[in-house]
Amino acid sequence: MKKFNTLFILLLISSISFAQTKWDGVTITPVTPVKKVYTITNGAELAWIAQQCKDTVTNFYTELILIAENIDLDNHEWTPIGTEYNPFKGAIQGNWKTISNIKVSITGSNNGDYVGLLGFAQGDLTRQVHVANLFLENVNITGNKAVGGMVGYAKYFVFDSCYVEQGTVVGNTAVGGFLGHGSYTACSDCYAKVNVTANEMYGGGFVGINDTTDNRLIISYCYSRGAVNGSKDNQDNNVGINGGFVGLNHGKVKSAYMVSNPITGNITGNFCGINGKTGRFDNCYYCSSYYPSLGGIGHDSSAIGEEDMIPQPVGQMTSEGFVGTGGGSGLNASDFTNPHWSMDFKIQPPINEKFPIHLWQYHFLYDSTANIGSVPPASLSIYPNPVRNVLYIEIKNIKVQKVEIVDLLGKPIISRKSNYEIIEMNQFNNGIYFVKIYTQDDIITRKFIKQ
């Protein structure tokens, strides 16, 4: 694998900043956009974004929220960004920054619905909106229905390289460490390390309800760690439905793992509480050390059984072979030519108790110049990255239906069924874009920077 380029290294290094002034929980500061970009530097400005949605002033459709500094919300009561009546529709570029000490304590049958840093986020069928490189730490989230650390409810959204770490997420129904209820929503290279409690049903370490039946919008290369607790009433099987990774699954989860202890409830699975008829798992792993007699799925309605869901003890999950060293084995599996995972023992002390971490996290926290292992030549190459004038796309052994370049808002800039190998970039504004390669069964997405 090629080393990260110099510009990207500098971007990562420059993103590490000193602690910011804490938000007082009262001040709200308006932000003036520049070319539809709202640059956020503190909690008061972020609170203004939430207020605009709550007061139905705007939903930030086709606009970008850029997090320019680390933000400390200091455990003051937070208003989730976006409501059922005025969903948040903007993109977010987290810029490798951290938003910390987030407190939401909304209860009640209605007021407590759609709770997280983001409350209700919605794109549309032809425009999946992106949230990228956003980190949340020390969350204390309490709500009713659709409760998540990052977002309560999301539809037609894509989350890339984000995490929620430390704290608790508590609710009644559809409660997840990262995402409460996802509908036609994808997550890639994300993780949640928090404790989850679902008082009624559908609690998951990563997502409460994965309600996406489009197999091109999937949860991939994600993991969850932490307790997942729920009610246990032997007289009522409609409560206490929980899984270590997902509570109720109707979509596809690929190359993911979980480590949860405890997992409690009436219907529980190490990985999934209930798998619906359209639910699928591909190369997923669950820790079998704590509950060896508990299967990966509590109740399976899909007739696929637990194929491609593999139990592993802690010792195996913390070994190099678990990530995979090539040839299609381990978490990287068939993606070993474009790996997403790294082990956590290359630098001491480890940050994830030797369980696998994401490759972007290894570069960000450990060594931006590292060449992690030797892998065969990739079947998909996009270069140079960053790009100034011309972007080259080399695709081998992939049957391509269409290639698109989209912005952070999911808006297609270029769409081609042929002649996509060389793309002139002079007409593009500087910023982050995504190449989307459409195949018969999947959408392969790669991120690049135009400078």
Q: Where residue 415 sits, what CATH number does that domain have?
A: 2.60.40.10
Residues 30 and 160 both lie in one domain: yes
Residues 390 and 312 both lie in one domain: no
**Phi and psi based region of residue 326 (left: phi greater than 0; alpha: psi -120 to 50; beta: remaining):** left
Domain boundary among 317, 340, 362: 317
Distance CA 135, CA 100 (A): 8
Residue 344, domain member (yes or no): no
Residues 255 and 386 both lie in one domain: no
Which pLDDT belongs to residue 16? 42
Peptide bond before 386: cis, by omega within 30 degrees of 0? yes
Residues 313 and 384 both lie in one domain: no
Distance CA 253, CA 178 (A): 14
Residue 350, domain member (yes or no): no
Distance CA 96, CA 197 (A): 28
Which pLDDT belongs to residue 293? 87
Residue 130 lies in domain? 6-317
Neighbouring CB atoms inside 10 A of 323's CB total 24
Distance CA 255, CA 365 (A): 22
Domain boundary among 317, 339, 365: 317
Residue 330, domain member (yes or no): no
Closest among 224, 313, 240 to 273, alpha carbons compared: 240
CATH number at residue 142: 2.160.20.110
Distance CA 180, CA 194 (A): 13
Q: Report yes or no: 413 and 433 within 8 Å, Cβ to Cβ.
A: yes
Distance CA 271, CA 293 (A): 13
Residues 100 and 210 both lie in one domain: yes
Domain boundary among 277, 299, 317: 317
Which pLDDT belongs to residue 371? 44
Q: Which residue is it, tokens 């704290």?
A: 167
Residues 386 and 311 both lie in one domain: no
Q: Are strands 91-105 and 257-259 parallel, antiparallel or unpaired?
A: unpaired
Which pLDDT belongs to residue 368? 53
Residues 272 and 127 both lie in one domain: yes
Residues 391 and 308 both lie in one domain: no
Which pLDDT belongs to residue 194? 98
Which pLDDT belongs to residue 1? 37
Residues 27 and 134 both lie in one domain: yes
pLDDT, averaged in runs of 10, over the chain (451 residues): 40 45 94 92 97 96 92 96 95 92 80 92 85 95 97 94 96 97 94 96 96 81 95 70 95 93 92 92 92 89 71 89 72 73 76 89 65 42 78 74 85 85 84 82 78 78
Residue 428, domain member (yes or no): yes
Q: Provide the domain count of the chain.
A: 2
Which pLDDT belongs to residue 335? 67
Residue 331, domain member (yes or no): no
Distance CA 71, CA 22 (A): 7
Residues 302 and 387 both lie in one domain: no
Dihedral of the alpha carbons of 86, 90, 94, 95, in degrees to the nearest 10? -160
Distance of CA 258 to the CA centre of its chain: 14
Residues 148 and 289 both lie in one domain: yes
Q: What is the pTM of this model?
A: 0.80
Residues 151 and 265 both lie in one domain: yes
Which pLDDT belongs to residue 374? 34
Residue 203, domain member (yes or no): yes
Distance CA 30, CA 49 (A): 8
Q: Report yes or no: 381 and 393 within 8 Å, Cβ to Cβ.
A: yes
Closest among 173, 172, 203, 177 to 274, alpha carbons compared: 203
Residue 327, domain member (yes or no): no
Residue 353, domain member (yes or no): no
